Amino acid sequence: LFDCPNSQICFEIVSRAAPVNKYLSKIKPAVRKSPRWTSVLASLAVGGSLCAVPFKQVENLSHDSLVRRAASLVTDSSSTFLSQATLALTDALTEYAKAVHTLIALQRQYLASLGKLSPAEEDTVWQVIISQRAEVVHRQDEQKRFELTWVTAIRLCEAAAEAAYISGAENASITVRTNIQLAQSQVEEAQKISVDAEKKLAETKVMEVERMTQHAATLEGSNDEEETPEAYLRED
């Protein structure tokens, strides 16, 4: 009856229509000629014709669309990288601050007990302090390493945001810039804690120098007092 552009579709239509044709052949001629039945047949004919025409869904595959999609993917991946780098840096800053506060507590405890410890006890305390100082250095190196990674992630997100904006993906650009601001605020809060810990450590070091100087002067004075009677005896 008509040329079908897709033989497979036409075959399926004919196959599915076979039971319907068999049913129609059993209907009496008088019924077929009725106006109502004529409308039904017309509807079936139109429906069959529509089903026989293959519809093709045309996707938007223009260069602009593909570039926008790629830019959105870049902003998503760079935001994920920034999120992980921010978490690593804030944790490293927190652990560094904890290590510094532990060292401060150990040094102040030692200064408070200065002159009251035996040589063996003093040596044990110093071993603990030296070990904690090594922990502080380790945490500081770790913090610096993650800070470099975080700075790289910030630059990558800034470039991704710029690329998304230029390509027309404004929403993706706005999202990644918001993520940058959030990451910067989180890192700033963690940096304040570590800087405060470093200030207290510097104050403790000044206190340590003063107390050690006083303690050395006290020991020197006591040694002079012990040697004075011997000098008088030699003069006698």
Reported as a single tens digit per residue, the pLDDT across 136-195 is 999 999 999 999 999 999 999 999 999 999 999 999 999 999 999 999 999 999 999 999
Question: Residue 217: pLDDT band by 50, 70, 90 thresholds?
Answer: confident
Residue 192 lies in a domain: yes
Number of domains in the chain: 2
Range of the domain at 31: 7-52
Q: Do 130 and 170 fall within a single domain?
A: yes
Give which of 188, 206, 89 is closest to 148, Cα–Cα.
89
Residue 236 lies in a domain: no
Q: Do 218 and 137 fall within a single domain?
A: yes
More confident: 229 or 220: 220
Percentages of the chain per state (helix, strand, coil), in multiples of 5: 85, 0, 15
The predicted pLDDT at position 211 comes to 84
The predicted pLDDT at position 26 comes to 55
Q: Do 99 and 191 fall within a single domain?
A: yes
The predicted pLDDT at position 221 comes to 64
Question: pLDDT averaged over the chain?
Answer: 79
For residues 207-236, one letter each, b for 16 or more C-beta atoms within 10 angstroms of the residue's C-beta and e for the rest, the string is eeeebeeeeeeeeeeeeeeeeeeeeeeeee
The predicted pLDDT at position 236 comes to 38
Give which of 201, 92, 82 is closest to 144, Cα–Cα.
92
All residues at 6 or more sequence positions from 76 whose CB lies less than 8 Å from its CB, including other chains: 172
Residue 20 lies in a domain: yes
- Cα-Cα-Cα-Cα dihedral sign, residues 57, 63, 64, 67: positive
The answer to whether 88 and 146 have CB atoms below 8 angstroms apart is yes
Residue 227: in which H helix or E strand, if any?
helix 170-235
Residue 29 lies in a domain: yes
Residue 215 lies in a domain: yes
Q: Do 98 and 142 fall within a single domain?
A: yes
- Cα-Cα-Cα-Cα dihedral sign, residues 102, 104, 109, 114: positive
* Mean pLDDT, residues 78-82: 97
